[in-house]
A and B are shown apart, each in its own frame.
Chain A
Amino acid sequence: MSEPRRLKIWRMRLLMLLAVIGPGFITANVDNDAGGIYTYSAAGAQFGYTLLWVMIPMTIALVVVQEMSARMGAVTGKGLSDLIREEYGFRITFFMMLGLIITNFGNIVAEFAGIASSLELFHISRYISVPVAGVLVWFLVVKGSYKSVEKIFLAASCFYFAYIVAGILAGPSWNEAFIATFKPPARAAFRDSAYLYMIIGVVGTTIAPWMQFYLQSSIVEKGITVREYRASRWDVILGCFFTDIVAWFIVVACAATLYTHGVRQIRDAADAAQALRPLSNEFAYILFAAGLFNASIFAASILPISTAYTVCEGLGFESGVDRKFSEAKVFYWLYTLLLIAGGAVILMPNIPLVKISILSQVVNGIVLPFVLIFMLLLVNKSELMGKHVNGTWFNVIAWATAVIMIGLTIAWFVTGGGS
């Protein structure tokens, strides 16, 4: 093969990669939303390094689950709710959609919590920030200039590097951190319902049910077929690694700064912002607030509309922002109500913002096994996937994840959780 031709092939491969970069990377970034930031921060503050061992198995599970999702999208060309509808009928789809609305609603509340608490660091009352943000997001998505703003959000997400730098500057005990990453704690820790609660939350925020629906739909919408899927796979895998590396550093940064100085509970954004102190005292607040705000608004622009699409497609309602209101009433109403109700919850007096955010992620973790089981049943059907059914290892990992999450939920309940 001549030199210019080889170069050309590499250039085509790179272009192909860049063309499909998006779905996996975006999903990963939105993964580190308000719920994520608070949950990882609380994990580090409350339990120090003792939750770090979850990161590696969780990342493996995340890669497997996301890859399954993307593969199903590329091979079938249909979204997850469409597949569930076609294979399992109306009733099951209805209940799954109901569950998804409730779960996603919790996440939307968390995004508004992020918006409210981040802007409160700048002394902007939530009664102003939340309604304004809600209206802004609504117009952004419905009037369609979302795509250009998406690039701004993605770029602004490089804020997450601040956590990596903060983590390093906090001077954590690297020894402890690395050992904790590979060595689970003693048995006794698993009898603490608060510990179990946090594990479920951490997994729930990393492998959120809404992500699987969103990723598969994005792949379908981008028109990625089996041929282009190879490049897409890298986008997905890299996204997963990026998100979990950032998560690891968030936990470490909070463990090194908050936990070691006795700040075990995070009550509001100010507490969480402390973790960025090592970077620079005054800018800690600003960095945190800006980053949290960016993450929350980005997620608030994706999550509600994705929920509306998924539910309408699954139940057979007309959907699409290119349709007029009269043509797609259920779609527009659902979307608008999700935003309004989400904001309303935050505006209720004395609402514990951080607690609610973490709770929404725990709900993610509890619902996850059900979505996983459906995905596993679908991805193993050869009529659907042809030769792209799951390999043995993928099945083992995915089934194990589902079983472990169910187990953790039961264990949490049994050890006195939910009281």
Chain B
Amino acid sequence: MPSLALSELIGAPVYDPSGTTPVGKVREVAVVPQEDPHRVAAFVVKTRHGERLLSMKAVNEVNGGVRADSLADGWTPYGGGEGMLLLERDLLDQQIIDVYGRKVVRVNDVDIHEEISDRHVTLKLSAVDVGARGAIRRLLKGVVPTSALRTMMDKIPPRMIPWEFVDLIETDAARRVKLKIALDRLSRLHPADIADIVEELAPAEREAVFETLNEEVAAQTLEEMDPKLQVSVLSSLDSDRAADIVEEMDPDAAADVLGDMPPDATEEILTEMAPEERAEVAELMTFEEDTAAGRMTTEYMALKSSAKVADAIDMLRKFEGGLESVSTIYIIGEREKLLGHVPLAKVVLATPETPLMLLSSRHMPTIHPGADEKEVAALFDKYNLLTLPVIDDEGILTGVITADDVINMLRAKL
């Protein structure tokens, strides 16, 4: 399958059956993603009588100039690129997301495969060139003859990203919908990787990503981002969209971000949130950030003392919080007083009828809500904890601190 580069197509002469002089030049290569995201749909040709749209169905040949099989006068006049992806304007030299490499890259050129089948040509986008090959080809185009250029290119190792691994970034919301730019591939990456990618983008592009990703993914990504950027992103979104995302975040992470924002912006987002989530977050926001209470989450698993292992597994299935808080299951008595704790591993190994209290260990490290961060870290280290319950003076369980919060805290000091 022969391949050609986008930069070779742009500016190429276009011929129609009327003769051997070109009727125009290729100005743009258009793809209609809603119909077929891989196939070139048409060329925008600049002719003497204005710009025309030449559908690929009418193209016989692409090498050495584009040859159409219908007369130029019959082509539709070009009325703007609504609903079309124009490769020269929207792809070339722009930033795209390389999902495989998990970073943001700039497009130097686009590799296109040619499929010839009985007098008709199909052009398929195969890969994006982000390396030296594309760069040098763009630099020397028109200066060095095409054939010499091609032999030169073969000597340079290619750096390509297959089109399947590319996610486009589009800042215009209407166009995103029209062109079905949904960032599906990006969404499947680990939130920490998505956060890395998003941090490399300019604010407008970042906002576009957060408006496109679904709320859960957006929330997990936001949690992994730099605090300053978290604020910047939430401030740039509409308050109802921001609220949707904040609702999906871990309450302690949500409380941290909202706490860093200016008060009126925080108010706006809180009012848009569902009452239950709002109450949880608002409560956590009342605590000082560098105390035990400031680090704890209110989403944890707690069952009554009469519960059995089967009940625990049941609750586990319905649990909506983060995986980190699930490693220990807490047992509470009346008024939510902390009575015991059971590591998840023990739950998995026991039979369903075993009462939970039986599996609870007698020794239970706990911490007071007002305790200092250093105390928290010391306890985690001393008892090799994964989670640490926070109880007030009356022994009532108010929240749980998880290991990832402690690591976060320690890294900030390292």
Contact = CB atoms under 8 A, between A and B. Distances in A.
Interface stretch (A85-93, A135-143, A267-275): A85-93
Contacts of B232: 223, 225
Contacts of B141: 91
Contact of A223 (B95, B105, B130, B229): B229
Contacts of A85: 93, 106
Given A85-B93, A316-B130, A77 B139 contact: no
A264 interface: no
A234 interface: no
B221 interface: no
Contacts of A90: 93, 108, 135, 138-139
Contacts of A77: 202-204
Interface string A218-245: 0010010100000000000000000000
B138 A89 contact: yes
A316 B108 contact: yes
B386 interface: no
Contacts of B228: 223
Interface string A160-202: 0000000000000000000000000000000000000000000
B274 to A, nearest CB: 28
B94 interface: yes
Interface in A62-101: 76-78, 82, 85-86, 89-91, 94
Nearest to B105: A316
Interface centre among A89, A91, A220 (most CB of B within 10 A): A91
B261 interface: no
Contacts of B106: 85, 316
Contacts of A406: none
A23 to B, nearest CB: 16
Interface string B82-113: 00000000001111000000000110100000
B189 to A, nearest CB: 19
Contacts of A91: 138-139, 141
Given A77-B202, A223-B228, A225-B203, A89 B139 contact: no
A223 B108 CA distance: 27
A205 to B, nearest CB: 31
A371 interface: no
Contacts of B92: 89
Contacts of B130: 316
Interface string B200-240: 00111000000000000000000000001100100000000
Nearest to B232: A223
Interface string B368-396: 00000000000000000000000000000
Contacts of B229: 223
A1 to B, nearest CB: 15
B82 to A, nearest CB: 16
Given A223-B228, A223-B232, A225-B232, A316 B202 contact: no
Interface residues of B, number: 18
Chain A's interface size range is 10 to 19
Contacts of B135: 90, 94, 315-316
Contacts of A225: 203, 232
A316 B139 CA distance: 14
Contacts of A86: 93-95
Contacts of B93: 85-86, 89-90
A225 B106 CA distance: 23
Interface string A88-116: 01110010000000000000000000000
Given A223-B229, A223-B232, A316-B108, A76 B94 contact: no
Nearest to B134: A90
Nearest to B131: A316
A78 B171 CA distance: 14
A223 B95 CA distance: 19
Most chain A C-beta atoms within 10 Å of own C-beta, residue among B92, B108, B202: B202
Contacts of B139: 90-91, 94
Nearest to A12: B262
Interface string B131-144: 00001001101000
Contacts of A223: 228-229, 232
A225 B233 CA distance: 11
A76 B202 CA distance: 7
A220 B200 CA distance: 11
A180 B414 CA distance: 58
A398 B141 CA distance: 33
Contacts of A76: 202, 204
Contacts of B203: 77, 225
**Residue in B92, B93, B94, B141 whose Cβ sees the most chain A Cβ within 10 Å:** B93
Nearest to A74: B203
B31 to A, nearest CB: 19
A89 B94 CA distance: 9
Nearest to B206: A77
B74 to A, nearest CB: 32
Contacts of A315: 135
A86 B169 CA distance: 13
A142 B139 CA distance: 31
Interface centre among A77, A78, A90, A91 (most CB of B within 10 A): A90
Contacts of A94: 135, 139
Interface in B44-95: 92-95
Contacts of B105: 316
Contacts of A89: 92-93, 138
A156 B92 CA distance: 46
A316 B134 CA distance: 11
A309 to B, nearest CB: 14
A77 to B, nearest CB: 4
A88 B104 CA distance: 20
B133 to A, nearest CB: 12
A91 B138 CA distance: 7
Contacts of A220: 202
A114 to B, nearest CB: 36
Nearest to B262: A12
A90 B88 CA distance: 12
Closest 10 CB pairs of A and B: A77-B202, A77-B203, A316-B106, A90-B138, A78-B202, A85-B93, A89-B93, A86-B93, A91-B139, A94-B139
Given A76-B204, A91-B141, 10 more contacts: A77-B203, A85-B106, A86-B93, A90-B93, A90-B138, A91-B138, A94-B139, A223-B228, A225-B232, A316-B130
21 contacts: A76-B202, A76-B204, A82-B202, A85-B106, A86-B93, A86-B95, A89-B93, A90-B93, A90-B139, A91-B138, A91-B139, A91-B141, A94-B135, A94-B139, A223-B228, A223-B229, A223-B232, A315-B135, A316-B105, A316-B106, A316-B108
